[in-house]
Amino acid sequence: MKRDLLARIRRDVAEKQPVVLATTLSSGESRLVYPFAEEAGADPALRAAAREAALQDQSRVVEIPGGEVFLRVFNPPVRVIIVGAVHVAQALSQMVRQAGYDVLVVDPRRSFATGERFPGIPLSGEWPDEAMARLGLDRRTAVVTMTHDTKIDDPALAAALRSDSFYVGALGSRKTQAARRERLRAMGFGDRDLARIHGPVGLAIGAVSPGEIAVSILAELVDRLRRPGGTEARAGA
């Protein structure tokens, strides 16, 4: 691989920009494809194949007009930011870890976000929107709010909606969600923004206990990560 390509990949990885190295097998020629960027002049078939490989996190050989190409995917890690160090968060944070994703639990109510309640889980006592501004949200970041305190959840959702975050979930009943939508509307968000919020959060599997609710949220999150175009199985833990 050429040195300048390697330097660009390093920079993209550092900036959490998904990038795919495409190598034409017959010639050995390599170039970079940005699967989610608006790029004029890029081969649409190659773009589509790179996008699918990036979404599935799987490097592969594809056959496109012009021959076989090896696509090597460099994706930033999937991160899940859980806002609210509540019971469901205790279960969800461990499950997120086991699914192989990075996790952060944020709660300015420091008495909740303790190491005893969240063994081994990274914690932050910042306000969530401040933590998000520091971390930088990208398209591989998910945000789930669960404090049940509007002064903490609302700014977190606003920050998530202003980002490319692939999953935005908000714990709360249908009634809570309706009131929340009105507050976010007053902050200037429109229908398209509000439609990104999964609330009631999680797949409808009849979840009752904190652990079950965590399963339903994680399942929905995986669905949005791997099948971002799909519309099946939505709404209501």
Partner 1 sequence: MTAEGLYHDALVRMARAATGAGRLEDPQGSATLDNPLCGDRVTIQVRLSQGRIAALAHQVRGCLLCEAAASLLGRAAVGATPAEVAAARAGAAAMLAAGAPLPQEPWAELELFRPVHEVKSRHRCVLLPFDALGEALARARV
Which residues of the shown chain bind partner 1 in the complex (CB under 8 A)?
107-111, 125, 127, 149, 151-152
Of the candidates 102, 149, 103, 109, which has an alpha carbon nearest to the alpha carbon of residue 126?
A: 109
CB of 43 to partner 1, least distance (A): 48
The smaller minimum CB distance to partner 1, of residues 114 and 173, is found at 114
The smaller minimum CB distance to partner 1, of residues 21 and 159, is found at 159
The smaller minimum CB distance to partner 1, of residues 144 and 203, is found at 144
**Whether the bond into 76 is cis, omega within 30 of 0:** no
| Helix or strand (DSSP H, E) at 195 | none
CB of 107 to partner 1, least distance (A): 7
- Could you write out the DSSP letters of every residue in 133-158? HHH---TTEEEEE----HHHHHHHHH
CB of 159 to partner 1, least distance (A): 13
The smaller minimum CB distance to partner 1, of residues 125 and 236, is found at 125
Is residue 145 classed exposed, middle or buried when 0-12, 13-18 and 19+ CB atoms within 10 A define those classes?
A: buried
CB of 111 to partner 1, least distance (A): 4
Q: d(Cα 28, Cα 181) in Å, to the nearest integer?
A: 52
Of the candidates 164, 90, 175, which has an alpha carbon nearest to the alpha carbon of residue 132?
A: 164
CB of 135 to partner 1, least distance (A): 18
The smaller minimum CB distance to partner 1, of residues 12 and 149, is found at 149
